[in-house]
Each structure stands twice: as C-alpha cells, then as structure tokens.
Amino acid sequence: MVENVIVLRCSLCKSENPPDNRCSSCKVARYCNKEHQASDWAAHKTVCTPIKRARAKLEKEELKLRNDAGNGIFSPPYTFENKVGHFWGILSTRDYMRARIDYVIKVLRLDTYDAVSTGLECLRDMLHLCRSDNLGARDMIPGCYLRLEQDQKCYDFIKWYATEGSRGDYSYGNMNLPFLNLENEDVMEGVAVFCGEWKAADYGIPITLIKVRMLLDLRDLRASSALLETGKLNFDTIQHLRARLHSRSSIWSARPDLLSIEGLDERIKMLEDQTEQLFKAVWKANEYFWEAILDPRPFSEIPSTYS
C-alpha cells in the first residue's frame, strides 16, 4: 500500500491503530481516544459544523420527499418507491438532490477514510436515483475511487461512461437498459477510447493516474529482478525487499498475472506508450492542466487589479 493514501486512522496523530472514537457531529472523523478528539476540535470544527448542518438539511429534505403524497404530474407521489432513476426530472425531487450534493461537497473537504467512503456511497446512490446525472456526480466519483485505492472499480466506471454511456442512442431514461454494469475490464487495453476531443479531460486524467501507478510498480519490479540476476543478492533477500516495497496500484490483487517476470518488459513498454498518449491527449484538451498539477499557485491567484 502506498504511504499517505486514505486509510482508517486517527484524525490527529494519524495512527492506523483502530480509532474507536467517532465524532458524533460529522460522523466521518475518528480518533484514538477522547483526548485526541478534544485536542483536534479547534481545527476540526471548521469542517465539522458545515457537514453537520448539511446532513441535517439533507435529512429534512429526504423526510419531506418520502412523505410527499404528490399533487400532479410535476410532483408524483412517493418518488423513492415509484420514480427511482428519474429524480431531478421531477420538480419535487430537486431540493433533495441539491441538499445531497451539497452534503457530499462538504463531506469531501475532510480528508478521512470515512468521509471519502461516505461521499462515494452518496454519489453512487445519486446516480441510482437519477441516471441522467444533472448535478455531475459522475465527475466526482473517479477521484473517490482513486483515493480509496479502488483502481479497478474506477477503471470500470470510467470505461462505461466512455463507451456505452457515450453512445448517441443510449437512453438514460430507460430503466431496462444496463447501467454501470462493467466489471474487471482489462486495464492493459488501449486508451484511444479515453483520448477523444471531448473525453480526454473528463476520462483521460484518472485513467492516466491508474496507468502511471501500474507503470511505476512494474518498473520497481523490474529493478528488483535485475538485482537478482546480478547474483549480488539471493532470492530470499529479493523477495523480502519486494514484500516491503509499497505498491502504488491496487490492480495487482485482481491481476497478479501482470506481475509475472515473463513479458514484463513488453508490459512496461505498453504502459509507457499508453501514458504518453494520455498525457498528450489531456494536454491537447487543456494545455494548463499538467503544469497546474505541479504548481497550482499561479492558477489560483487573484489579480490585484481589474481594468
């Protein structure tokens, strides 16, 4: 596992020992003990209070919508039972959907495992309620998957939108059609489908990160194999070193075959070519993006004067 990824840990000391004390207000921060929770309150309350208020607003809107008996075509009765998949297109659901996306935005400002997991669950449920996704939940989901080291699920999610979800004849209003049904797609396949003029910025960026993680891991594997071939270190020592290396990608748990030494150079070359193709496609879509990743400050500064 890569260091500094989102894992279940104390929000103050960052210890990964099971943190038993959960914040009762935001419910997405945990601590080793009450002393750590008290020590962190001054910093935590700036994000905790908005989350608590947003959740209260969401619960209020959900209760109102669930109890809505309807009053005509624009407000049909019991939408949670009768109109799943069509939310937002129904006027009476919009306050609830706005409250839900507002809650997600505030939750994701907190950099904890519970916050990202909760945000991802809410966003996926929003897509279940509203396939047409009028509030852009699908744009936030890949980042959540990647922060939780769920690279395969991220890849499957993005590929569905880049392929089936991009078809001109796909009807998001038809609940009988398959929706986000791809699983365990081949992460080594070509990347052309993510590099189109209108796709590179939305799909190419997270796919690039997935491929780069894999590439760096395979390069580390090749380097350790080279040490073994020199005869300077024995096999057991090399295996010990490999076990202690922090893998960047979570793909390997489902695809251990990709870690085979046989064909390793070819896989590395393939990923190098794919990442170069993705980098160029993203740059063509937004020539400032990669520069902003390295140093976002020039792009976030506010001009001192306006003409």
Confidence at residue 271, expressed as pLDDT on a 0 to 100 scale = 98
Q: What are phi and psi of 53, to 5 degrees?
A: -65, -40
What does the alpha-carbon distance between residue 207 and residue 249 come to, in Å, rounded to a whole number? 12
Q: What is the pTM assigned to this prediction?
A: 0.90
How would you classify residue 50: left for phi > 0, otherwise alpha for psi between -120 and 50, otherwise beta? alpha
**How many CA atoms within 13 Å lie on the side-chain side of 137?**
25
Confidence at residue 225, expressed as pLDDT on a 0 to 100 scale = 76
- The CA-atom distances, in angstroms, between 304 and each of 295, 297, 300 are 20, 15, 12
Confidence at residue 23, expressed as pLDDT on a 0 to 100 scale = 97
**Can you give the pLDDT of all 307 residues of the chain as single tens digits?**
444 468 899 999 998 887 889 999 999 999 999 999 999 999 999 999 999 999 999 999 999 999 988 877 778 888 999 999 999 999 999 999 999 999 999 999 999 999 999 999 999 999 999 999 999 999 999 999 999 999 999 999 999 999 999 999 999 999 999 999 999 999 999 999 999 878 888 899 999 999 999 999 999 888 877 766 655 555 565 555 555 567 889 999 889 899 888 999 999 999 999 999 999 999 999 999 999 989 988 887 777 666 5
Confidence at residue 167, expressed as pLDDT on a 0 to 100 scale = 92
- The CA-atom distances, in angstroms, between 141 and each of 89, 120, 121, 144, 287 are 21, 6, 9, 5, 24
Confidence at residue 307, expressed as pLDDT on a 0 to 100 scale = 54
Q: DSSP secondary structure string, 195-237? A: -STTTIIIIIHHHHHHHHHHHHHHHHHHHHHHHHHHTSS-HHH
Q: Which two tokens stand for residue 109?
A: 């400002």
Confidence at residue 75, expressed as pLDDT on a 0 to 100 scale = 81
**How many CA atoms within 13 Å lie on the side-chain side of 138?**
22
In a 10 Å sphere around its CB, with 0-12 CB exposed, 13-18 middle and 19+ buried, how is residue 2 labelled?
middle
Q: Are 144 and 116 in contact (CB under 8 A)?
A: yes
Which 8-state DSSP code applies to residue 85? B
With tokens 């976002």, the residue in question is 296
What does the alpha-carbon distance between residue 115 and residue 106 come to, in Å, rounded to a whole number? 9
Q: CB under 8 Å to 92, separation ≥6 — which residues?
A: 65, 68, 70, 74, 75, 76, 79
Confidence at residue 200, expressed as pLDDT on a 0 to 100 scale = 86
Percent helix / strand / coil, the chain, rounded to 5: 60, 5, 40
